[in-house]
Amino acid sequence: MPPRPLLLLAALWCGAACTSAPGPDTLTYYYYSEPRSLDPALSTDVPTGEVVAMLYDNLTQFDVEGRLGPGLATRWETDPSGRVYTFHLRTDARFHDGRPVTARDVRASYLRALAPGTQSGRAWPLDPILHARSYAAGDTSAVPAIAVPDDSTVVITLEQPLNVFPKLLAMPVAAIVPAGADARFGDHPVGSGPWRFVSWLHDHALVLARNPDYWGPVPLADTLRIRILPEALTQAAEYESGRLSVVEIPFGETRLWERRRPAELQRRPALRVFYIAINTTRGPLRDVRVRRALNHAVDIPTILARLMGGRGTLSAGALPPSLPGFDSSRTRYAYDPARALALLAEAGFPRGFTLRLWRSQRPEYARVAQAVQQDLAAVGVRVEIVERDAASARAAARKGETDLFITDWYGDYPDPENFNFPLFHSRNRGPGGNLAFLADSALDRLIERARRTMDPREKEALDREIDRRVFELAPWIFCWFPEDLWAVQPDVKGWRIPAIFNGQRWNTVQRTR
């Protein structure tokens, strides 16, 4: 425990930092909860992933539009097999302590994230590397598939062809740290990114300063302060008083903000899908006709309009509209109770049956669950709503204990593979993300082909076919693709809602007065 005078000073500092309006060269952001760490190897949550993007660089990185581009690697290529990737590093990148970034730092960063003692929990972007999983399990002591022929070249060999691998290297866990970083690194981070670490007063605020020696666009502001504000009401109040540069608008507050501050709002279709997983292994739900009946029985357009402020695009598949493979011409399951009743009778359930619908305690989930319960009752399907905390509800779904489960999926990287493979391949049933426990051999083969091909046109065609097959199998009640809505202070310029969570690095943002 620190001496009491230091605690008092910390409290006084927080009072000034957390309640005063930001200076003209300071931008102020916020997180709902503290980052787990400032160490990329321990990145398991969105706050950690976002701040990692500010402090560090990756070989590849996403811009605010979700496009993959050069990071520490200026270019890369793969061999004809699609298994060997060669990355060529820039020579003008330096860590915040002045050391040059070399290929050896890249290799050391990946081995550190994979090491059994790191307890990363999110090293899966590196799993495709040959022998990486054996190394992480402690079964081998080396990963020769990460080769460093010289200071500016990294050659990585994969277990099998994987066309999304460069996108995986833009994930937070693959950020580059100096070789030799120890266990205390998360409290004293040294990266090569556009912002340098200044201070972290836990549960209150992080302070970052501009890196004037950055190889890319140097931040336009001097300071970026990131406050910890768990409550949405507090966030809104702090924004309205000018003490936050931006704020996310909850779905339930959409209409209010549209009336009061329309000129300050930014919208963006999220790389996210909201759905109700149907466990395809349980009772009547094994029959695709029953699953299609459930889709016809629920009035999704009305739920979206009335309960979610209309913030979303109705879905007829799992791929968001911004991704290749999305088919805008596909007709969704229409709200049609008569058709639902006919399908149920055809499947042998003219009098319906009983299901349990699981949900977490998020307020919007409660409202959606009640609407679904009412709609299904109209076609004879009796629904018991089971409410649990988020961790317990998801654990039950992963174990296959739920009939229906209200949830959503955020894209980790902008590619159809990030939806198709975890959500629908039979290998990923349960804990892997396939909460519908769908197992379809034809679908598996399509997904595997789409992951291997190096032809972008073939991949897009396969992704479209995968999404069509998923829609026909109806492993979900297809709902909508949400829309992000943020307010931005009138004097803050250059900030945009990022397409992917770690795509906004704040280096092009400034205050104009």
Read off the pLDDT of residues 284-334 as tens digits, 9 standing for 90 and up: 999 999 999 999 999 999 999 999 999 999 999 999 999 999 999 999 999
Question: In sequence order, what are the residues at sequence separation of 6 or more whose Cβ sits closer than 8 angstroms to the Cβ of residue 357?
Answer: 276, 369, 372, 373, 383, 384, 385, 386, 402, 403, 404, 405, 406
Indicate the burial class of 469 (C-beta count within 10 angstroms; 0-12, 13-18, 19 or more). middle
Confidence of residue 448 (pLDDT cuts 50, 70, 90): very high
3-state helix, strand, coil in the chain (%, to 5): 35, 20, 40
Q: CA nearest 229: which of 44, 38, 29, 363?
A: 29
Q: How far is CA 283 from the centre of its chain?
A: 32
Asked whether residue 373 carries a pLDDT value surpassing 50, the answer given is yes
Q: Which of 73, 71, 31 is nearest to 53 (CA)?
A: 71
Q: Is the pLDDT of residue 16 over 60?
A: no
Backbone Cα Rg of the chain: 24
The per-residue pLDDT for range 374-423, each reduced to its tens digit, is 999 999 999 999 999 989 999 999 999 999 999 999 999 999 999 999 99
Question: 8-15, long-range: CB within 8 Å, 24+ apart, which pairs?
Answer: 10/201, 13/201, 14/201, 14/204, 14/205
More confidently predicted of 361 and 162 = 162
Question: 263 pLDDT exceeds 70?
Answer: yes
- pLDDT tops 70 at residue 3: no
- State phi, psi for 406 to the nearest 5 degrees: -80, 125
Does residue 451 have a pLDDT over 50?
yes
Cα–Cα–Cα angle for 396, 401, 405, rounded to 5 degrees? 70
- Read off the DSSP letter of residue 72: S
Exposure of 86 in the CB half-sphere (CA atoms within 13 A): 11
Amino acid identity of 448? E
Residue 383, helix vs strand vs coil: strand
CA distance readout (Å), 422 to 100, 318, 480: 37, 12, 19
What pLDDT is stored for residue 20 in this prediction? 56
Q: What is the pTM of this model?
A: 0.90
Whole-angstrom Cα distance, residue 282 to residue 198?
A: 53
Q: Does the pLDDT of residue 7 top 50, yes or no?
A: no
- Residue 226, helix vs strand vs coil: strand
Decide: residue 52, CB within 10 A, 0-12 exposed, 13-18 middle, 19+ buried: buried
Say if residue 350's pLDDT is above 90: yes
Q: In this predicted structure, what is the pLDDT of residue 276?
A: 98
- Res 10: pLDDT: 35
41-92 pLDDT tens trace: 988 889 999 999 999 999 999 999 999 999 999 999 999 999 999 999 999 9
